[in-house]
Amino acid sequence: MASNFARKVLSLDLEEKILNGGVLITLVGIFLPWISGESLGGLVHSYTGLGFYTSFIGLLVFSINLFLLLITLIPLTGGPVLVRKRHREIVRLCLTALSVILTIAALSVLIKVTTSDLRRMEIRFGVYTCLIGSLVALLYAFLRFQEQRKADVQEIFYHPEEKEKLVDKQEYFDAPPPPAPPKQSPPEEHRLYR
């Protein structure tokens, strides 16, 4: 069963793979350290995206990206379709944009905390990993959305009933060749002078 699932994942479009890869990077980035600092006792504390002041934002980003991943994974495992194909790309685009906005909001909160002189705090690589993964997912969600719009426009102008009306050109080429022209008679002699 695992090989069947892996085969289905490998058969996805390249854009779909990259989009889901960006979502996975974002999910991993939430569990990496976002901020660390030294307490009054000299102990070093490190907080992930689910801790400190940004815990609510981190939880929202995690939930959004988990849902984005499940949009792809549940149908591959034989489960129900969470979002209809018609609305899938716009939902992905909106959710990845929301994920980027929330990650930037969390980064701004962390920058505000680190600029205070009360603690020696540093922003760590987890928030940047989360932001990069969200941006990659957003760009590829936008690409997939544009491809869907292009396909919708082509569908409007494609009429299958007109295809049946078209005449097959091959039947003109299979027709017998036209008859050969008659032989020319010899030129007549006309007297110009009497």
Q: Could you give the number of structural domains in the chain? A: 1
Phi-psi region of 24 (alpha: psi -120 to 50; beta: other; left: phi over 0): alpha
Q: Edge-to-edge strands of the sheet including 33-38?
A: 44-48, 33-38, 120-123
Grade residue 45 by pLDDT with cuts at 50, 70 and 90. Answer: confident
Query: Which tens digits make up the pLDDT trace of 62-85?
Result: 999 999 999 999 988 888 888 888
DSSP state for residue 11 in the 8-state scheme: T
pLDDT at 50 over 60: yes
Report d(CA 90, CA 87) in Å as an integer.
6
Residue 103 belongs to domain with CATH number: 1.20.140
Provide the b/e sequence for 58-67 (b: ≥16 CB within 10 Å): bebbbebbee
Two structure tokens written together for 11: 């058969």
Residues 6+ positions from 158 with CB-CB distance below 8 Å? none
Asked if the structure places residue 101 within a domain, the reply is yes
Name the pTM for this structure.
0.74
Asked if the structure places residue 90 within a domain, the reply is yes
DSSP state for residue 53 in the 8-state scheme: G
Asked if the structure places residue 106 within a domain, the reply is yes
Q: In the predicted model, what is the mean pLDDT of the chain?
A: 85
pLDDT at 129 over 90: yes
Asked if the structure places residue 95 within a domain, the reply is yes
Asked if the structure places residue 174 within a domain, the reply is no
Asked if the structure places residue 187 within a domain, the reply is no
- Better-predicted residue by pLDDT, 118 or 85: 85
Asked if the structure places residue 139 within a domain, the reply is yes
Quote the domain boundaries for residue 92.
Answer: 17-149
Main-chain phi, psi angles of 174, to 5 degrees: -85, -5
Asked if the structure places residue 118 within a domain, the reply is yes
